[in-house]
């Protein structure tokens, strides 16, 4: 019997955690049913290395942006720079960008400026925006909704672990919520309830590897193959079989990341 196919919509395969066995990590993912992975560049100066991974491995696509926690330390991205990068056939999303007031609240203003640049790039390219949010729900809702009213764009709230209010605001804008290993943690009942209240056709799954490994690997290095563990918990939250949840989240990914869905070698 064939293994249901799923997508790891957000991982970091360029991180040094994978340097010694990147090919094996990708092979293990494919064996586990993870047919495609989107590896995320978090500092634009590293885009060539991330692009090279996507060029080397057929199941891997990539996105690029400036992570909010790096916004104060890295050169501010430009819309033109992001648009130029987006011309690559395997470049499928803008980001991750966003706001993080948990660790880097002192750089809030530059984070907001950076986020608005990434939103504009998403508007101009019609590629989905990939959002990181932590402890910044009110500003996030304000910035995303204001920009969307001016010119609509698509978006995924990556590694969603925020409030029900932000989840509803995102869904109302037509955005997607992505389940990471956090949603599989035993104490994450409230978060699973927030996901289960959302339409299942707006849900993605991801690892954010090498971080946030789901049980039974919690506390160890995460990798794309473990998407399956989170997806099994997601299936339970929505009252679906694993096969149906895998198929639905893959369909959702293809709808949002349409450039990846249309890619052929």
Please indicate, yes or no, if residue 1 is contained in any of the structural domains. no
Query: What's the average model confidence in pLDDT over 48-53?
Result: 98
Alpha helix (H) ranges present in the chain?
22-31, 47-56, 79-85, 108-125, 137-150, 164-172, 189-196, 227-237, 242-256, 258-261
Identify whether the C-beta of residue 120 lies closer than 8 Å to the C-beta of residue 97: no
The model's pLDDT over 106-147, given as tens digits with 9 standing for 90+, comes to: 999 999 999 999 999 999 999 999 999 999 999 999 999 999
Please indicate, yes or no, if residue 243 is contained in any of the structural domains. yes
> For the whole model, what pTM was predicted?
0.97
Q: Domain total for the chain?
A: 1
pLDDT of 83 > 90? The answer is yes
The whole-number pLDDT of residue 140 equals: 98
What separation in angstroms does the CA of 75 have from each of 70, 71, 126?
Answer: 9, 8, 24
CATH code where residue 151 lies: 3.20.20.140
Please indicate, yes or no, if residue 44 is contained in any of the structural domains. yes
Dihedral Cα 122, 126, 127, 129, nearest 10 deg:
40
Query: What's the average model confidence in pLDDT over 232-256?
Result: 98
The whole-number pLDDT of residue 14 equals: 98
Please indicate, yes or no, if residue 144 is contained in any of the structural domains. yes
Please indicate, yes or no, if residue 90 is contained in any of the structural domains. yes
State the pLDDT confidence band at 77, using cuts at 50, 70 and 90: very high
The whole-number pLDDT of residue 6 equals: 98
The whole-number pLDDT of residue 75 equals: 96
Query: What's the average model confidence in pLDDT over 76-87?
Result: 98
Query: What's the average model confidence in pLDDT over 183-210?
Result: 97
Please indicate, yes or no, if residue 263 is contained in any of the structural domains. no
Give the 3-state secondary structure of residue 81.
helix
The model's pLDDT over 35-47, given as tens digits with 9 standing for 90+, comes to: 999 999 999 999 9
What range defines the domain where residue 29 resides? 6-257
Helix count and strand count (H, E) for the chain: 10, 8
State the pLDDT confidence band at 1, using cuts at 50, 70 and 90: low
Identify whether the C-beta of residue 184 lies closer than 8 Å to the C-beta of residue 229: yes
Query: What's the average model confidence in pLDDT over 203-225?
Result: 97
Please indicate, yes or no, if residue 262 is contained in any of the structural domains. no
pLDDT of 265 > 80? The answer is no
Please indicate, yes or no, if residue 168 is contained in any of the structural domains. yes
Identify whether the C-beta of residue 44 lies closer than 8 Å to the C-beta of residue 64: yes
pLDDT of 264 > 90? The answer is no
């Amino acid at each position: 019997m064939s293994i249901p196919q799923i997508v790891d919509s957000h991982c970091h395969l360029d991180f040094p955690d994978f340097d010694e066995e990147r090919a094996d990590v990708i092979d293990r993912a494919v064996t586990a049913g993870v047919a495609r992975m989107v590896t995320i560049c978090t500092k634009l100066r590293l885009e060539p290395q991330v692009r090279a991974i996507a060029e080397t491995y057929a199941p891997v696509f990539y996105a690029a942006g400036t992570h909010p926690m790096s916004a104060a330390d890295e050169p501010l991205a430009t819309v033109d720079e992001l648009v130029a990068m987006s011309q690559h056939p395997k470049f499928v999303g803008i980001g991750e960008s966003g706001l993080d007031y948990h660790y880097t609240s002192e750089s809030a203003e530059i984070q907001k400026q950076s986020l608005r640049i990434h939103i504009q790039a998403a508007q101009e390219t019609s590629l989905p925006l990939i959002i990181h949010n932590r402890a910044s729900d009110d500003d996030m809702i304000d910035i995303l909704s204001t920009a969307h009213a001016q010119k609509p764009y698509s978006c995924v709230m990556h590694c969603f672990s925020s409030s029900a209010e932000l989840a509803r605001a995102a869904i109302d804008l037509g955005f997607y919520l992505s389940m990471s290993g956090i949603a599989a943690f035993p104490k994450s009942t409230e978060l699973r309830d927030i996901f289960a209240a959302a339409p299942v056709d707006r849900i993605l799954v991801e690892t954010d590897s090498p971080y946030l490994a789901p049980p039974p690997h919690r506390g160890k290095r995460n990798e794309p193959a473990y998407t399956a563990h989170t997806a099994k918990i997601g299936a339970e939250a929505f009252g679906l079989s694993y096969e149906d949840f895998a198929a639905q989240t893959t369909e959702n990914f293809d709808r949002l990341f349409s450039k990846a869905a249309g890619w052929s070698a």
